[in-house]
Every structure is written in C-alpha cells, then in structure tokens.
C-alpha cells in the first residue's frame, strides 16, 4: 500500500468499521431501552405490520370484553332481582292460601290482604329497580332481547333475552289492584299465583343459562387477548439477556475501533521520518 498524505486508506477502513459498530451499538441500546427488537417499520416492515394488525385485534377485543362485562352485570342484576321476586311470590302464596280459609274473621282477612298488597308493591318496586347502566330487562321497557359484541369484527353477538316481570304482564299475571279480601277472590288469585311462580322460575332459568354463556364467552375473550399479546411479544419483544451481552461486546468493539482509527490516523506521520537529514 502506497504511503500518501492525501489518502489514508487504513483510516477510511477503520472509520467505516467504527461507524458500523456505532450503528449496531445504537440499535442495541434502543432495544434495551424500549424492550423491543422491532419498534418500527424501519426495523422489519413485514413483521411490524403483522404486529400492528394483531394490536388492532387486541384493541377490538378489549371493546368486546367491555361489552360482555356490561352484559354480565346486567344479567347478574336481573337474576338477583328475579330471585327476590320469586321469594316474594312464595310469601304471597302463603298469604293467599291462608285467605282461602272460610272461617277467618274480618280483622284477620284484612290483615292478610294488607300483607298481600304490600308484597305486590314490593314485587313491582324490585322490578323497577333492577337496572344497570340504564338497562332494565325485567320491566318491559326494552325489546325482546338485547345484543352484545362477541368478536373483534363486531359481526357476531351474544344475546340476553328480556323477561317482563311487571305485575299484570305475561309472566306475573296478578294486577297491582288485585285483592284477597274475600275467600273467592283468594281462590282465583291462587291459580294465577301458582302459574306466575312457575313462569318466573322458568324465566330465571333462561336468564341463568344465558348469563353462563356470556360468562364463558367473556373468559374466552380474555384468554384470546392474552394469547394475542403473547404472540405480539414473540414477534417484536427483545431478548434482553442477549441484548445485554451484545451491548457489552459492541462496547468493546467500539473501543477497539476507536483505537484502530487512532493508529491509522497516525500512520502518515511516518512520511516525516523519510525527510529527516
């Protein structure tokens, strides 16, 4: 290799190698600071695009889980209220059965009728209060059913049927004005009450089955979200143990490269010795 003061080939090679090491060192430091081996499309466009698509699915599934959580809460409130209504109907049956006794005096019959009417009012109050986040599926204020998101594409749904437990409805047929003030009316109410108890219990069974389905699907969505997050991590997460070892190796290479560049830059000084007298 010719000795020249204009072109120092060794220094150029050493500088190129040092710049390459510096770039690799910067990449390693970025991976360690972010925890990602692919933090942008510049690192690996195809893998980054796949990861971004999966992140979009995870975000959509978070919205699905929120919808399912709301559905589960609505169902839980409705079932709690429905169980209370069923218990009240059982208490009412005791009053109605007692009122059919023809030997009751006026005072006793009046007391039973007052208890019956109080239980009726309580049934309606429970039904009216069975609301969560503006949704009440027991008071007849909504349609036949309400739907909630089931997948990330928002084209599949889980359904929660409404059950009208209002007085005088299709399930509880007794009117709010009904009375057991006489043995004959108590007998009539007895038949309606027996049917109403069966209707309410059937409605609660339906709600329980749907609530279980919603709960199961909610758990599946949670597991699916976890799996997708793990998949994204497999694609883009950095192995910090390897990056730490790589960082130390690159730091040594950087020091050696700087030293090699220093030696190469000093090489033209040899020219001066050729012109000494």
Query: Exposure of 86 by Cβ count < 10 A (0-12 exposed, 13-18 middle, 19+ buried)?
Result: middle
Q: pLDDT for 90-120, tens place per residue?
A: 999 999 999 999 888 889 999 999 999 999 9
pLDDT digits (tens, 9 = 90+) for 21-49: 888 888 888 888 888 888 888 888 999 99
Phi, psi of 239 (to 5 degrees): -85, 100
Q: What is the pLDDT of residue 246?
A: 85
- In this prediction, residue 260 has a pLDDT band, given cuts at 50, 70 and 90, of confident
Q: How far is Cα 26 from Cα 14, in angstroms, rounded to an integer? A: 18
Distance CA 181, CA 112 (A): 8
Got the DSSP string for the chain? ----SS--HHHHHHHHHHHHHHHHHHHHHHHHHHSBS--STTT-HHHHHHHHHHHHHHHHHHHHHHHHHHHHHHHHHHHHHHHHHHHHHHHHHHHHHHHT-TT--HHHHHHHHHHHHHHHHHHHHHHHH--BTTB-SSSS-S-SEEEEE-STTS--EEEEE----SBTSSSB---TT---SSHHHHHHHHHHHHHHHHHHHHHHHHHHHHHHHHHHHHHHHHHHHHHHHHHHHHHHB--HHHHHHHHHHHHHHHHHHHHHHHHHHHGGGHHHHHT--
Q: What's CA 108's distance to the chain center, in Å?
A: 55
Q: What is the pLDDT of residue 202?
A: 96
Q: How would DSSP label each residue in 144-185?
A: SEEEEE-STTS--EEEEE----SBTSSSB---TT---SSHHH
Share of the chain above pLDDT 70, in %: 97
Average pLDDT over the chain, rounded to whole?
90
Query: Does 224 or 32 have the greater pLDDT score?
Result: 224
């Amino acid at each position: 290799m010719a000795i020249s003061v204009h072109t120092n080939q060794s220094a150029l090679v050493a500088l190129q190698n040092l710049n390459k090491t510096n770039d690799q060192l910067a990449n390693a430091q970025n991976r360690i600071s972010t925890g990602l081996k692919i933090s942008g499309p510049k690192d690996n466009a195809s893998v980054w695009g796949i990861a971004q698509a999966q992140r979009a699915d995870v975000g959509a599934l978070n919205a699905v889980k929120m919808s399912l959580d709301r559905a589960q809460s609505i169902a839980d409130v409705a079932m709690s209220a429905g169980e209370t209504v069923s218990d009240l109907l059982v208490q009412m049956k005791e009053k109605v059965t007692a009122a059919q006794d023809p030997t009751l005096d006026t005072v006793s019959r009046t007391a039973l009728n007052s208890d019956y009417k109080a239980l009726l009012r309580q049934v309606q109050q429970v039904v009216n209060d069975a609301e969560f986040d503006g949704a009440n599926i027991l008071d007849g204020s909504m349609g036949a059913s309400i739907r909630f998101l089931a997948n990330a594409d928002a084209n599949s749904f889980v359904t929660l049927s409404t059950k009208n437990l209002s007085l005088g409805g299709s399930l509880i047929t007794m009117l709010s004005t009904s009375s057991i003030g006489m043995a004959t009316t108590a007998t009539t109410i007895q038949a309606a009450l027996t049917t109403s108890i069966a209707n309410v219990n059937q409605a609660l069974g339906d709600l329980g089955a749907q609530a279980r389905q919603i709960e199961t699907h909610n758990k599946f969505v949670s597991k699916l979200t976890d799996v997708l997050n793990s998949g994204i991590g497999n694609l883009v997460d950095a192995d910090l143990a390897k990056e730490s070892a790589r960082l130390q190796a690159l730091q040594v290479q950087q020091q050696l490269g700087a030293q090699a560049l220093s030696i190469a830059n000093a090489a033209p000084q040899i020219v001066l010795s050729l012109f000494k007298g």
